Amino acid sequence: MRDPDALIARAGVRGDPERDQHFLVDDRVLDRLPGYLPDDADTSHVLEIGGGTGGLTDRLLSAADRVTVVERDPTLAAFLREEFTEEIEADRLSVIEGDALEIELPSFTASVSNLPYGVSSEIAFRLLPAGRPLVLMFQLEFAERMAAAPGTDEYGRLSVTAGHYADIEIVEPIPKAAFAPPPAVESAVVRAVPRTPDYEVPDDERFMALVRAAFTQRRKTMRNAIRNTTHISGIEDPEALIEAAGEELMRKRAGNVPPSEFARLSRLAARSDS
């Protein structure tokens, strides 16, 4: 395996916190990351967002048939093409220079990525709807909110929306010292295993809008949150929805409402607005 510090030296670069660049340099963590994919994961085409200097890319090439790396920094993209010339010529690696939030992502069977933290949420929600297993590095606080259960302090819009697409699990906390330069926050590896929800929604967009609206007023009861956020939820007749949903649910606050109940609300809203 390529040494991550040697890769940085050959690239002639330094991580830049101002540009959200923190290179993962702990060999042991890099070696473990591909193994966090589910045992039955299809690794015929693994996508990596934010290849950096290629420490993780190198490990993924040992675990996958083919790898595509998306790297927005032109200098790093050029380095990856030079460092991994043989793998590119063997059609085992593709390097795409571009912003993962703007380009059309290729189809992939799994993704393992050390995401740029400043845009990790937006990238995660580009990947989750694809219904593929993911192993992603996040800020610890973000990861905890992503994996949180109803009734906990961390539970919120992120928990509901991420859990709509996958079973979310924190598989390893990562210390600051694993990166160069060390970030200001602790990190964590999250595994997302795609799942079909055990509830039905009229459509994802309506469901997500209702969840977003409710959590903008998480300190209020669901009754008041529904009344106050029709400009976000798009609910046309909030009083009809409140009556149909029932007193028990309307007394709760969003932080104690499980995803299945948000789904029921979105179905009731679709009926009351039709």
Binding annotation for S-adenosyl-L-methionine: 22, 24, 50, 71, 99, 114
Q: Which of 78, 72, 117 is nearest to 98 (CA)?
A: 72
Q: Where are the alpha helices (DSSP H) in the chain?
A: 4-11, 27-32, 55-63, 74-83, 85-89, 120-127, 140-146, 157-165, 204-216, 222-228, 230-233, 238-245, 247-251, 259-273
Q: Which of 242, 244, 199 is nearest to 221 (CA)?
A: 242
Block residue for tokens 């690794």: 43
Angle, CA of 162, 70 and 106, to the nearest 5°? 70
The binding site comprises 22, 24, 50, 71, 99, 114
Do 18 and 73 touch, CB atoms closer than 8 A? no
